[in-house]
């Protein structure tokens, strides 16, 4: 961030790959400095060291705590800071031939929704959602599952309640009493499975997991509604009017 005024936001599910690789490179550089300090303290060559968790093992097999290596590095005058830089691989795509690699990482996932629909009132209850997503390599399991749950919650609102109303170019439903988003009590039971298929140029094999968890939720819910009603809802959100009448009644001003 000190070399680019605006390097772009953390969108397109790229933070783990781009930022993660930069952090990994910086950490590896910093680790080499600590290796030097540990080798000096143990009076051996860096190549003779074994890094084991948060300690070093030297030729004498006597463990050296990581904290002691840090302290000795400072005594040696080493600056314990490092920078990492990683750029996305070049895109190779032949538009005319129709082959190549148009993007450096792809996400694969699928979701199944079970719904209960009251055709008289138009009420839809999402009973349960099953989700499976390829994350490359799980770095932080709780965070990864949290992204799946959060994405499904967003998709739930996208499918059933969130609709922007315009009039003369102005948004009409500007408050959350009219633009309805799901709350924690609206989120159904979710059974999520994280599939690991390491990405060759991802940090430790990890790859993107954010927006892709939201995208399948609405189609899964709408497909389930269509299966229950015997007809499809072609516009979002699938609110009470669209369920019962097949269309949304316009408000009279």
Model pLDDT, residue 14: 76
Query: Cα 173–177–182 angle (5° rounding)?
Result: 105
Residue 93 has what pLDDT?
86
Give which of 225, 220, 252 is closest to 238, Cα–Cα: 225
pLDDT, average across residues 109-138: 95
Split at pLDDT 50, 70, 90, the class of 253 is: very low
Query: Which residues are catalytically annotated?
Result: 211
What is the rounded average pLDDT of the residues 24-51? 94
Give the pLDDT band of residue 5 (cuts 50, 70, 90): low
Least confident of 96-100, 103-107, 139-143, 212-216: 103-107
Q: For residues 227 and 147, give the distance between their C-alpha atoms in angstroms, rounded to a whole number.
A: 28
**CATH number of the structural domain 109-244:** 3.30.365.10
Structure token digits, residue 28: 């590896």
User: In b/e form, how buried is each residue of 212-231, taking b as 16+ CB within 10 angstroms?
Assistant: bbbbbbbebbbebbbebbee
pLDDT score recorded for residue 210: 84
Mean pLDDT (the chain) is 90
Averaged pLDDT for residues 182-190: 95
Chain centre distance of CA 153: 14
Confidence of residue 1 (pLDDT cuts 50, 70, 90): low
Name the least confident of 216-220, 224-228, 243-247.
243-247
Q: Which two tokens stand for residue 12?
A: 């397109």
Question: What pLDDT score was predicted for residue 4?
Answer: 64
Q: Which two tokens stand for residue 241?
A: 């009017």
Whether residue 21 contacts residue 218, with contact meaning beta carbons closer than 8 Å, is answered with: no
Is the CB of residue 249 less than 8 Å from the CB of residue 242? no
User: pLDDT digits over 43-58, tens only?
Assistant: 999 999 999 888 999 9
Q: Could you tell me the pTM of the whole model? A: 0.81
For residues 137 and 210, which has the higher predicted lDDT (pLDDT)? Answer: 137
Q: What is the pLDDT of residue 34?
A: 95
Residue 249 has a pLDDT of 59
Quote the pLDDT of residue 45: 94
3-state secondary structure of 144: helix
The Cα–Cα gap between 156 and 237 comes to 10
* CA dist., res. 146 & res. 164, Å (int): 27
Among 50-59, 84-93, 163-172, 215-224, name the most confident range. 215-224
pLDDT at residue number 252:
42
- Widest CA span in the chain: 85
Alpha-carbon distance of 16 to 189, in angstroms, equals 27
The model's pLDDT over 79-117, given as tens digits with 9 standing for 90+, comes to 999 999 988 888 888 889 988 888 888 889 999 999 999
Q: pLDDT-based confidence at 140, cuts 50/70/90?
A: very high
Q: What residue spans define the domains of the chain?
A: 15-75, 109-244
Which residue, among 24, 38, 27, 47, has the nearest Cα to 70 in the 3D structure? 38
């Amino acid at each position: 961030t000190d070399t680019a005024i605006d390097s772009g936001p953390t969108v397109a599910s790229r933070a783990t790959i781009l930022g993660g690789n930069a952090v990994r490179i910086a950490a590896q550089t910093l680790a080499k400095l600590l290796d030097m300090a540990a080798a000096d303290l143990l009076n051996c060559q860096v190549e003779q060291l074994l890094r084991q968790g948060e300690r070093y093992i030297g030729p004498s097999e006597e463990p050296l705590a990581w904290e002691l290596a840090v302290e000795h590095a400072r005594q040696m005058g080493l600056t314990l800071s490092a920078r990492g830089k990683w750029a996305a691989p070049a895109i190779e795509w032949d538009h005319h031939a129709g082959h190549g690699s148009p993007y450096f990482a792809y996400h694969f996932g699928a979701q199944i929704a079970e719904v209960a629909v009251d055709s008289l009132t138009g009420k839809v209850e999402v009973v349960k959602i099953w989700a499976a997503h390829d994350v490359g390599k799980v770095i932080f399991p709780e965070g990864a599952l949290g992204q799946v749950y959060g994405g499904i919650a967003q998709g739930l609102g996208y499918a059933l309640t969130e609709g922007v109303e315009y009039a003369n170019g102005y948004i009409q439903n500007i408050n959350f009493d009219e633009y309805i988003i799901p709350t924690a009590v609206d989120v159904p039971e979710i059974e999520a499975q994280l599939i690991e298929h390491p990405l060759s140029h991802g940090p430790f094999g990890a790859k993107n997991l954010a927006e892709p968890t939201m995208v399948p939720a609405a189609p899964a819910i709408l497909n389930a509604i269509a299966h229950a009603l015997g007809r499809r809802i072609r516009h979002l959100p699938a609110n009470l009017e669209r369920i019962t009448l097949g269309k949304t009644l316009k408000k009279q001003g």
